[in-house]
Structure 1
Amino acid sequence: MSSRKQSLPHSFSNKQFDTIVIGSGYIGYAAAERLVSNGQQILLIEPSGQLLWESTSCLINDATDQQYSAAWQSWLSRLQLINRTANNKFDPVVAEIQAAKELRSRMESGECQVLFYAYPVKVEYDDSNITSLLLATKAGLRRVFARQWIDTTEQGILMRLATGEKQTRRTVRQGWSCALQSNHWDALEAPLSDFSNAHNMSLSASTKAGERYLSWDDAQLPWHQTMMKKLRLLRTSFTENQDLLVSHCASQPYPIYDSSHVLPLSDSQPGNLQCLSPAYCSTDLHTLADRYNWGMSAQCATPKTASMTLANIPSSADSIDPHCLTFDEESQCEVLVVGTGTSGSVAAITSARQGAQTIAIDFADFPGGVGTGGGITGYFFGIGSKEMESIDALTDEINILLIGESPDKDAWHHEAKKLAIMQLFDELGVSFYGNGLLFGVESHQGQVNAALVAFGDKLVRLKASTYIDSTGDGDLCAFAGAAYKTGRSGDGRTLAYSQAALTINYEDHRPKLKAINFDAGWLDPNDPEDLSRARLVGIQQYHESTAIQKNKLLMIAPLLGIRQSRHIQTDYILQLDDLVAQRRFEDCIGEASCHADSHSVDFEFEDDEMVFYYWACRLFRHPLHTQLPYRMLLPKGLHNVWIACRAAGMSNNAFYAIRMQRDMQHIGAVAGASAANIAMKGLTAARSEDNDVLHHRIENTDSTNHANEVVCNPIDSLKQGRSGIALWRVSQDRSRYNEEVRNVLHSQNSKASFYAACVLAMWADPIAEPRLIEALVGRENGAVDPLENQGAYGQEIDVPFWLIAVVMLRCCGSNACLPALRTCALEPEIPLNVRTSIALTVERLAQRKAISTSESLELLDNLIAYEIPDAQQMPSRSIARKIRNENQLTLPNDYGVDTSQDHGWQLHLIICRVRTQLGFDPQPRAYDYSQDPRAYVSQSFMAFF
């Protein structure tokens, strides 16, 4: 075994940058551009995850530049490469995509790195210079190093940390905006202009013929209240104009500064900190050009500031104790809800309705999660509950204010749900705090005592009697020490993420909004660096899309659509067979229903149960239904915490069905009611028998008949060569069906005998091996029907019998199957997924010592002897079509976006595992993958070096 140790992948915590720029608005983006052009290696940190937030969050699109600076003109000319500028305006979504594209290019060249979702919390010094900075991230505290620091944040976050200065410069004006869409501006322009003038508002142009921006000043109200006020006024004044709709709204006001109010810079400012923050600068900042030009004044670091060398930099693996921080505030409540996405928003509303003093925090500056900021604005399966009726009813009312009518059934406008949740927060007294990042907890013997939260300008310790973890990733539970699992068994990968966007269709009688949602790739959602990479990739992918080419793209969703992350270990872990058998539980808190909706296509990487379910039983679309036990919300080892989000207690396989928005809303309601009930009784134990929720359960109801499919005799179905649910039921009851399945193995019906072999393989019965070898050698197709077993996005997921045989042999094979596997492996043009299927079977055979070391290595070497012909693949595709050399389907959600990436790492991961288990060095390519910029790839290989 090799003893060499390789460096970790390019982590921000393992290097010293020339300059670290905090803030990626126009000031920070321009500063980064200037520094990179001067040969500086920089790290650009943006806490919010929003590039050019003045345009993406504030909707400012003014191209005015009274100084006509060359830098600003160069930026505008680059925007024209995607879309024209017009009317002295540019398209905010074009600016965001162009910025993401340029940053990705600089990252690939090594000139620049980008880190989102990280808050500066403490500066560290060497004499009079800053050497390092502690960042609060969802992975805990991280330390970054640089020779020079530039603060471009609006609040002067780094300046305040470095100097202790609290007073900041005042804005002279703060402006709000919303985007209007119509097909009939010839008739609407004049009356809307009169309307805006009469109400101290302004109507301005866009680069889109059907779009206008309505803007106003209001520094008195929070964003949701000022938006509701203007929306009601607008819809009341234009009741008859059904083709006028509001597509999206600013989530924060645009600040304007002038030199009438300037704060002197502190004498204690470190020598290597350059302050370009509007909070402390002395220049006028009215237009975007002002900001961009101000960023271009950034100065390059000099060697004199290099007081830290790489030898002094500790490893990123060094844990940092949060007790080194000074907290600005401490708050107390009965129920603390961390994360106000799909489940957390309902948890907070339900808790407050019970009468509990409830605080809710979220990383975004708005609630709703994937259903608002993630752009997934519709229900997909799941079972509704009464707790959602008030939210859905209010959402429908606000829908009408926004678009003049109710949307399609089970759908909503993304702003409507956001505003509805905020209004209910106000009415029920939920204290909501956005832009708050959980980075740690204080706990003792399973009792959480405080949540540690970083906001933009302060650190807060939040104490509660009970805690609800609705972060989506189980962050609070993980910080408190709860055990968890992540990803599927074959390669550890979670489901694909999406980066949704909003489009407009002007071709109908009235404008129609539509969300784009496709699989953008994969990520490690618990790694802030990989989250940053995935966010940039997702935005950049729209650069060549048909939506941008046809000028129909309105906005990129501000949040990633993350489908899967951790699965916290709870008192009960819901299993796939619970859903297939429609299990009932004594502690039932409701029901859930869907099919096992995995967005994967490479099912060979699933565990035996799941690959049998998808490929042999062909049950992708089979309706699943189960009761939900209360115990799946109770993290093992934690006493006063509920896990209410996609990270609740489910196996990876069960999760594929129990992850829909209705399901998450319901478990959020149960957690909210339970946590409030316990806290208001002065208790802290989630498992208390005094929990009224267990006696008066919040159950959801469903009118659909979910009776089990009638299968009189599953063996009769098997004898007829059918797959389906009967095949699954046979596989689950060996004691009953063993002899009969063995008899069917010798049937003259080739499909019947093959399916019998698959069941016997699941029972690890070696009698199945000859029939599986026969299918592989004869390249049996099995007469599958592509329309009968469709996956996500309607993709064909059926594969031929011979490939199923390859996978089933991992359960029951011996060295007798080696010749057939070897013959298949030696074919130069076999697709990647056939190679990975063979490799996974070799791995299992080697683990069982069914084949020798030399036989294992020979087969694996054969798989990489020839170049993989299809290593670059899209996330959504059909393996069966690839095997048949047929063109892939053009998906309805494609929009010309190229999401292809290298999947060859999966084959090399299996080979690396086998080689190291057998006592050999990893193959050379494995080291390359250990340095892959995709964290979910590199982390899979790092353990081998």
Structure 2
Amino acid sequence: MRWEVFERHYDIAVIGGGLCGVSAALKSAWEGKRVILIERRSALGWEVTWALELTFEPTATFACLGNMHSSVAEVIANRMGALGGYHKNRLDAVIAELLLDKLVEDAGIELLLYSTPTRLLWDDDLAVGVVIGNKSGEQVIHANVFIDATENAFLWRQAGAQFTQPQAKRGKQVVVFNGIAEAINSPITLGDAPDAGIFDVTVQPSIWDGEAFVEFTVEPFSALISRERILDAIPLVRERVHALSNALVTHSGHEPYPIDVFKCTNERSDELMHPHLKNLIGAGVWAIADDDERTVANTIGSRVALGERAGELAMSMHLEVPHDATQRAEGSILTPPHYETDVVVVGGGTAGAIAAIAAGRQGVKVALLEANAFLGGIGTGGAIHMYYHGVPGGIQDEVDARMRDITPLFGDAEKVLGFHPEAKKIVLQRMALEANVDIKLCTTVTGVQVEEATAIHADARDKSIMRRDDVSESHRYLRGVITAGVEGITVYRAHAFIDSTGDGDVAAMAGAPFIMGRDKDGILHAYSQPAGKLDEKGRLAFLNFDAGYVDPTDVTDITRARRWGIRHYWRERFTSEHRLLYIAPLLGIRQGRHILGDYQLTLMDEIIGRKFEDAIGYTWAHYDNHALDYENESDEAVFWVWLLGQWKRMIGCQVPYRCMLPQNVEGLLVACRAISLTHDADRKS
């Protein structure tokens, strides 16, 4: 890990990488300040890039900020126009994501993605640090001034600011149609469909020919509810708008855009200043006291202006917070809430979602924790919506059948390469909810609670859903996982845990041994940064290529890899000929840790088709190692590929249950690509 990020002392730390946060960071950095920007998602400007709120008026002003015009908004509008991504007050989300990243890079701002604030530290009337959580654990950000640009005023609330909730909590969901029959040049208002639970249905134009955006409001504000309502909105707009009747739904917003925003009720000399801490600034619509002004400010243009005002306020402060002040800090180090259940599944990709469904169908209480705003992992948010070999069977067959049933709602199935990723998101969500699984989105495990096994505890044998018969005194019992979510830290305690994080994060945190990378130099399989597109036949397809190498256990390196990956798509000018539908929010990570289990599957097992008495599945593919330097691979790999020329030969075997049992840890199964394999046995396509 590049620990210097956490050892540095910044002039300004901006927590939250939405438009308010990006604007505040840019304004501060342009004036020479040393700035760090923290965002929990994989992209900046979530309002545009994730929620697809694309109407942008850069000259928008509002009275509470003195009717100021935003220089940051003007820069964004001018640069987006020059890139071909801004027309008639509408933005392109892909180009916006690329531009925001470039602006932050050019301004010299330190950026850390995939990181959620969990605690604010303060000393007397000064904020002195922010604890962030991610898959690498917890770290502290040090700065002289802090800007709270989170959507829920997380830092302000931790420091005692009071808020009132709006009477309604509505969200706006967006669905994107392509291949429309005729151009839509202005918004089309379709009204409400209360029986379907959707309101304010509007069709918005795109900057691209053949594309349109359908917006609708749902209540309450929920990513799960919004996604389910998509299936009601699609037939409604097809019936009412002829241009969309045969169009293909290509993608949707990853999360809804908030319509109703709570407000801070404390008296303040400046609306953006925290009522108790003199170096904690607010950069959120929630900081505006007047109800009418707050409604007006809830646009993306006004959010940029609001962030710029926060940046100006931060620059006006001349404070020096000692770097060691966090050592004597107090404040929001609170006892986190506890959640008790039978089974906790960490990771809601295909493996984790199916694990949760299977457990829920056994009648036990299951919590499914997913770091993103959707289920399905690489097959949905990773844009790889097709299967590459493998073996059908089990619940996966049911998932596939139900996807086929609802795919016609999205358009002609022949217009989709593979399966439809939006259909899979909805099917996995539905099946999990039908199994009474409690889905917790935007939740990342940052630590674990373990109990050393100095003796065999009777209750551990009685309560554990899965166990070994030969528990030794050297084992640990996993009792809980510590998570970072939108509302801070939560501890989930259960009788059994399933690690479907992809990288064996829970198992490694609990002390299970692991290997990572090839023996000679530790290099992992290359990662990719996929993107969605329309192919030459107008089908929903994707781009996928090796983008480089990444350590997927290091949040600083994942951030670097994400930024490097999306820059492969940068152009000085975008046209309809090479536009993208979306950049996948997930990296295509092919390999991370392999947790050492009671059995380690080998390449030879796969070549000879070995069978096991405790088989629970199958592997079937060719030796799809993307290495370009086989001289650094193992002797077995060199022999199989170079000498025998068997790279394309299909091989496979049974997978034993023992590959899922991590050494030294009880109460945990590993069910993801991190199961116990050798590097050569892990053949990622």
TM category (shorter chain) comes to 0.7 to 0.9
Residue 127 (structure 1) shift: 3.2
Alpha-carbon distance in structure 2 between the residues aligned to 1:547 and 1:491: 40
Structure 1 distance, partners of 2:344, 2:618, is 26
* Match of residue 124 from structure 1: 121
Q: Judge conservation of contact 1:368–1:418 (CA < 8 Å) in 2.
A: yes
* Aligned ranges 1:768-783 → 2 under 5 Å: none
Selected match of 1:379 from 387, 393, 396: 387
Find out whether 1:156 has 2:186 as its counterpart. no
Deviations 1:630-671, CA, capped at 9 Å, x for gaps: 100100111211000000000000011xx57xxxxxxxxxxx
Q: Could you tell me whether the CA contact under 8 Å between 1:396 and 1:406 is conserved in 2? A: no
Shift in Å, 1:73? 2.1
Contact 1:499 1:561 in 2 (8 A): yes
**Are the aligned partners of 2:175 and 2:249 in contact in 1 as well (CA < 8 Å)?**
yes
Quote the offset at 1:426 in angstroms: 1.9
- Structure 1 residue 84, shift from structure 2 partner: 4.4
Q: Offset at 1:596? A: 1.2
Change (3 A) 1:643 1:166: farther
Contact 1:61 1:91 in 2 (8 A): yes
SS at match of 2:91: coil
1:502-651 equivalence runs, <5 A: 502-505=532-535, 508=537, 511-544=538-571, 550-651=577-678
SS at match of 2:82: coil
Distance 2:79 2:148 in 1: 26
Aligned match for 1:305, one of 294, 305, 319:
319
Question: Given that residues 121 and 161 in structure 1 are in contact (C-alpha distance below 8 angstroms), is that contact kept between their aligned partners in structure 2?
Answer: no
**236, 254, 264: which one pairs with 2:266?**
264
| Residue type of the alignment partner of 2:249 | V
Of 474, 487, 508 in structure 2, the residue corresponding to residue 478 of structure 1 is 508
Please name the residue that 2:143 is paired with.
Answer: 146
Q: Which residue of 1 aligns with 2:306?
A: 294
Contact preservation (8 Å) 1:263, 1:281: no
- How much does 1:277 deviate? 2.3
Match of 1:924 in 2: none
Q: How far apart, CA to CA, are the structure 1 residues paired with 2:190 and 2:314?
A: 49
Contact 2:15/2:39 (CA < 8 Å) preserved in 1? yes
**Greater mean deviation of Cα atoms: 615-624 or 330-339:** 615-624
Task: Give the equivalent residue in structure 2 for 1:66.
Answer: 60
Q: Deviations over 1:866-903 (max 9, x none)?
A: xxxxxxxxxxxxxxxxxxxxxxxxxxxxxxxxxxxxxx
| Larger displacement relative to structure 2 (608-617 or 562-571) | 608-617
Q: Deviations over 1:246-298 (max 9, x none)?
A: 11112322224689x65336775311111112233335323211000111102
- Which of 439, 460, 468 is equivalent to 1:432? 439
CA distance in 2, matches of 1:53, 1:241: 27
Structure 2 counterpart of 1:372, one-letter code: T
Shift in Å at residue 460 of structure 1?
Answer: 1.2
Secondary structure at the counterpart of residue 141 of structure 2? strand
Q: Which residue of 2 aligns with 1:834?
A: none
The separation in 1 between residues aligned to 2:267 and 2:477, in whole angstroms, is 45
2-structure distance, mates of 1:336, 1:50: 28
- For 1:129, the aligned partner's letter is L
CA distance in 1, matches of 2:505, 2:281: 34
What's the offset of the Cα at 1:48?
1.9
Letter in 2 for 1:264: N
**Equivalence for 1:766:** none
CA change 1:587–1:638 in 2 (3 A) is: same
2: CA distance between counterparts of 1:272 and 1:263? 19
Do 2:416 and 2:541's aligned partners in 1 also have CA atoms closer than 8 Å?
no
Contact persistence 1:168–1:280 (CA under 8 A): no
Partner amino acid, structure 2, of 1:201: V
More helix by share: 1
Structure 1 pair 57/195, CA: closer, same or farther in 2 (3 Å)?
same
Partners of 2:639 and 2:191 lie apart in 1 by 62
| Alpha-carbon distance in 1 for matches of 2:599, 2:494 | 25
Unpaired runs of 5+ residues, structure 1, are 1-7, 315-323, 661-945
TM-score using structure 2 length: 0.86
Larger-Rg structure: 1
Deviates more, 1:115-124 or 1:12-21: 115-124
Residue identity matched to 1:225: E
For structure 2, list consecutive stretches of 5 or more residues without a partner in the other structure: 62-68, 194-198, 269-273, 453-475
Pair 51,559 (structure 1): closer, same or farther in 2 beyond 3 Å: same
Identify if the C-alpha distance between structure 1 residues 358 and 45 changes in structure 2 by more than 3 Å, giving closer, same or farther: same
- TM-superposed CA distance for 1:202, in Å, is 1.2
SS in 2 for 1:583: coil
Secondary structure, counterpart of 1:553 in structure 2: coil
Deviations 1:773-800 (A, max 9, x none): xxxxxxxxxxxxxxxxxxxxxxxxxxxx
Distance 1:428 1:289 in 2: 42
> What per-residue deviation string (whole Å, max 9, x for no partner) do you get for residues 304-363 of structure 1?
421214x7789xxxxxxxxx9534421111111000112101101111112221110100
Larger strand proportion, structure 1 or 2?
A: 2
Alpha-carbon offset, residue 164 of structure 1 = 6.2
* d(CA) in 2 for partners of 1:382, 1:219: 40
Compute the RMSD of aligned alpha carbons. 2.7
CA distance in 1, matches of 2:371, 2:554: 15
In 1, are the aligned partners of 2:112 and 2:559 still within 8 Å (CA)? Answer: yes
Q: Kindly provide the amino acid, as one letter, of the partner of residue 358 in structure 2.
A: T
User: Deviations 1:440-468 (Å, cap 9, x if unpaired)?
Assistant: 11011211111111111132111111100
CA drift of 1:237 comes to: 6.0
| Distance in 2 of aligned mates of 1:227 and 1:241 | 15
Which stretch of the first structure deviates more once superposed, 68-77 or 617-626?
Answer: 68-77
Alpha-carbon contact 2:527-2:549 (below 8 Å) kept: yes
Residue pair 2:119, 2:132 contacting (<8 A) in 1 also: yes
Amino acid at match of 1:102: L
Shift of 1:552: 2.6
- Per the alignment, do residues 302 and 228 of structure 1 end up closer, same or farther by CA in structure 2, a change over 3 Å counting? same
- How far the C-alpha of 1:71 sits from its partner, in A, is 3.1
1:196-215 mapped onto 2 (5 Å cutoff)? 200-215=200-215
Distance 1:112 1:71, change over 3 A: closer
Question: Once the 2 structures are TM-superposed, how far is the Cα of residue 592 of structure 1 from its aligned partner?
Answer: 1.4
Structure 2: distance between partners of 1:400 and 1:547: 31
Aligned-pair distance for 1:234? 3.8
Partner Cα distance (1:153, 1:494) in 2: 34
CA distance in 2, matches of 1:32, 1:516: 32
Does the residue aligned with 1:467 lie in a helix, a strand or coil? strand
Note the C-alpha offset of 1:420: 0.7
Cross-structure match for 1:275:
282
Letter in structure 1 aligned against 2:395: E
What is the rounded CA distance, in whole Å, between the counterparts of 2:562 and 2:591 in structure 1? 16
Return the offset for 1:546: 9.4
Q: What is the DSSP-based 3-state SS (H/G/I as helix, E as strand, rest coil) of the residue aligned with 1:80?
A: helix
Change (3 A) 1:303 1:269: closer
Check whether the contact 1:125–1:132 (CA below 8 A) recurs between aligned residues. yes
Secondary structure, aligned partner of 2:375? coil
The residue aligned with 1:95 is 96
Within the alignment, does 1:348 sit opposite 2:356 as a pair?
yes
Q: TM-score, normalising length from structure 1?
A: 0.63
Cα 1:560–1:582 shift into 2, 3 Å:
same
Assess, with a 3 A threshold, how the Cα gap between structure 1 residues 159 and 627 changes in structure 2: closer, same or farther: same
2:192 & 2:316 partners in 1: Cα distance? 52
Q: Aligned runs of 1:726-875 on 2, under 5 Å? A: none
Against the structure 1 CA distance between its residues 335 and 173, is the aligned structure 2 distance closer, same or farther, given a 3 Å change threshold? closer
CA drift at 1:148: 0.7
Native 8 Å contact 1:400 1:406 kept in 2: no
1:430–1:163 Cα change, 3 Å? same
Secondary structure at the aligned position of 1:481 is classed as coil
For residues 3 and 485 of structure 2, what CA distance do their matches in structure 1 show?
Answer: 27
Equivalent pair of 1:326/1:459 in contact (CA under 8 Å):
no
| Residue of structure 1 in register with 2:230 after alignment | 227
- Answer 1 or 2: higher relative contact order, Cα 8 Å, separation at least 6: 2
Q: Is 2:105 aligned against 1:104? A: yes
Give 1:408 deviation, angstroms.
5.8
Say whether 1:653 aligns with 2:680: yes
Measured in 1, the distance between the counterparts of 2:348 and 2:252 equals 20
Could you list the per-position Cα deviations for residues 451-497 of structure 1 after superposition, in whole angstroms to 9, with x for gaps in the alignment?
11111113211111110000001011011100011111222111111
